[in-house]
Structure 1
C-alpha cells in the first residue's frame, strides 16, 4: 500500500527528470498505482492497517481516483486506487514544486515577450542558468541581449559594455545563457601579456630590466637560463642570478605562456611553484611543451623542512602524473600522505629566503 509520502517522492522524481521538457510543451501523464489492500490483506489484523492507510489518504490533498471495494467482512469502502498526474501543474503540486514551476514559467514568458518567441527553446536548454534569477537579474539579461543585438560587440572588451544597470563582470558570469540567445557574440580580445624581469643586471629586455608586454612582442631572450615562477610576489623577490630571466607564470597561465614562446626551447628552463598538487600539475603542463624543464625548490627535503608552515590544500588536484621525475613524485606522495584532507600546501612565500638564495646560487 503506497502512502502519500510514497507518491510525493515519485512525483518529485517525475518533476526533476521532466520539467524542462514540459516548458517546451511536451508532457506525458504519469499514473501511480497505490496498491490498495485486498480483502485478505485487510483481514490480517482485523483491518487496523487498512483503516490507518485510508485515514492517512483522507487527510491528503493529493487528487485521487477511488473505487468502491468490498474488503471482506470489514464491509465496502471507497478505496484510493491511483493518482494521475495529468498536467504539469498537478505534478508540480504533488512534487512540492508548485512555486518553482510557476516561477520558471513566469520568467520564461517574460523573456519571450521581451525578446521574441525564438528564444524559448534556447532558454529552456539553459534552464539551470536562469531558474533562480530575481526580477532584477532577468531585467539585466534582457537589457544585455537587446544591446548585443543592436551593437557590434567585437568593438568592445567584455567588461566595458555601456549598458545601464549592468556591472562590468555581469556578462562573464552569465556568458553561457547570453550566448545561447545571441548569435556570433564575439568581444574584443584582451591582449595576452607576460611579465618578465632580468635577474642579471647585465641583461636587458628591450632596454629594460623589468617589463610587461604582449607575448607576440617578446622576440629573442638574452641569457641562457629562464625561471618560470607561479606566484607574483615570489617572482618580484627572486634573488640575482647570472644569465637568467624570470617569467611570472600566473598559476595555470604558465601553460599558455610556454606554449606560445618557442624561444624557450633554446633555454635552460626551471619551474618553481607551490609545493602542492596544483603546483605539480602546472609543472606537468609545462613539460608537455618543454620536456627538459627542471623544477627547483619542489623537492621532498624542502617539503619536510617547511611542513610546519603548510596548510591544507582546499581542492587538491587528482591528476595522474606522467612527466614528473622520481624525486618530484616522492614530494607529491609526501604532501598527499601527510594530509587528512587530500594534500598539504606549502606556498612559495613560505620558503625560508636563505634557502631560496642558496638554491639559485647553486644553479649558476
Structure 2
C-alpha cells in the first residue's frame, strides 16, 4: 500500500520498525547506588542515550545479569550496580564514562555468562569478573543447574583462568551443560568477594 520510497528494502521483512520507518522504543538502563546517592533516590532507569552523557559520579560499577542479585547487593561505598539483563549488557557500549571507572561484571557461571563477559570486555578491556571462577563453582555444587543450550565458542577476551573454566563447561568436565546461576551463590560469598574487590 505504501509507495516504494517509504519502504527500506535493505531492512529484513521481520523488522517492521526499520523497514517502514517507525520510531523505535527507547532503551532504558537501570542502575542503583550501592553507597550514598547524590540524588534524592537510590535507583533509576534512564534512557541509554541520555545516560551516555551523564556519569553517576562513582569509582566502581558492577554489572549484574539477575534482578534479584542486583537488588540484593550489599552496600559498597562509591559504587553503582547496573542491571545488564543477559545480552542487553551490550548496551554498555553507549556509556563512554565506563572507561574511567573500575568496571566489574558478574554473570552466571555458564557458557552464556562467559560469552557476555567476553562481549563486555571486548569494548571495555579493563573489566574484571566477580565470582565467575572455578573455586566459586566448586563451592556451590549443591546449587548447580543445567544450561539448556551453550553459547558460541571462540571467545577472545577472557583471562586464561576464565577461558579454562569456559572450556571445561563446554566439555562437560564436571557435568554436561553445567551452570551456576548467580542468584544461587551464598550471600556470604558475595560479601567476601566485594570486600576483597
Partners in 1 of 2:67 and 2:98 — Cα distance? 20
Residues 242-300 of structure 1, C-alpha deviation per residue, up to 9 Å, x if partnerless? Answer: 111110001101012x2100000000000000000000000000011100100000010
The one of 175, 185, 190 equivalent to 1:339 is: 175
Matching residue within 132, 136, 144 for 1:298? 132
| Partners of 1:203 and 1:222 within 8 A in 2 | no
SS of aligned partner of 1:317 = coil
> TM-score scaled by structure 2?
0.86
| CA distance in 2: counterparts of 1:226 and 1:267, whole angstroms | 7
Q: Classify 1:176/1:283 alpha carbon distance in 2 versus 1 (closer, same or farther; 3 Å).
A: same
Task: Give, in angstroms, the shift of residue 220 of structure 1.
Answer: 1.7
1:307 to 112, 136, 141: 141
Q: Tell me which residue corresponds to 1:158.
A: none
Where in structure 1 do 4 or more consecutive aligned residues deviate above 4 Å?
Answer: none
- Confirm whether residue 244 of structure 1 aligns to residue 79 of structure 2: yes
Q: Which of 47, 54, 64 is matched with 1:229 structurally?
A: 64
Structure 2 residues not aligned, in runs of 5+: 7-11
- Unaligned regions of 5+ residues in structure 1, if any? 1-145, 154-174
Judged with a 3 Å threshold, the aligned counterparts in structure 2 of structure 1 residues 184 and 334 are, in CA distance, closer, same or farther, namely: closer
Q: Residue 210 in 1 paired to residue 43 in 2? A: yes
Deviations 1:15-36 (A, max 9, x none): xxxxxxxxxxxxxxxxxxxxxx
Cα contact 1:271–1:296 (8 A) shared by 2: yes
Q: CA shift at 1:178, angstroms?
A: 8.4
TM-score by length of 1: 0.48
Contact 1:199 1:242 in 2 (8 A): yes
Residues 13 and 19, structure 2, Cα contact 8 Å, conserved in 1: no
Q: Which has the larger radius of gyration?
A: 1
**Aligned Cα RMSD in Å?**
2.1
Is 2:159 aligned against 1:322?
Answer: no
Structure 1 residue 351: Cα displacement: 0.4
CA distance in structure 2 between the aligned counterparts of 1:318 and 1:192, rounded to whole angstroms: 26
Residue 203 of structure 1: CA displacement? 2.9
Structure 2 counterparts to residues 1-364 of structure 1, below 5 A: 149=2, 176=13, 184-200=19-35, 202-204=36-38, 206-218=39-51, 219-256=54-91, 258-336=92-170, 337-340=173-176, 343-363=177-197
- Aligned-pair distance for 1:326? 1.4
Name whichever structure is richer in helix by fraction.
1
Bigger RCO (CA 8 Å, 6+ sep)? 2
Provide closer, same or farther for how the CA distance between residues 177 and 241 of structure 1 changes in structure 2, counting only shifts above 3 A. closer
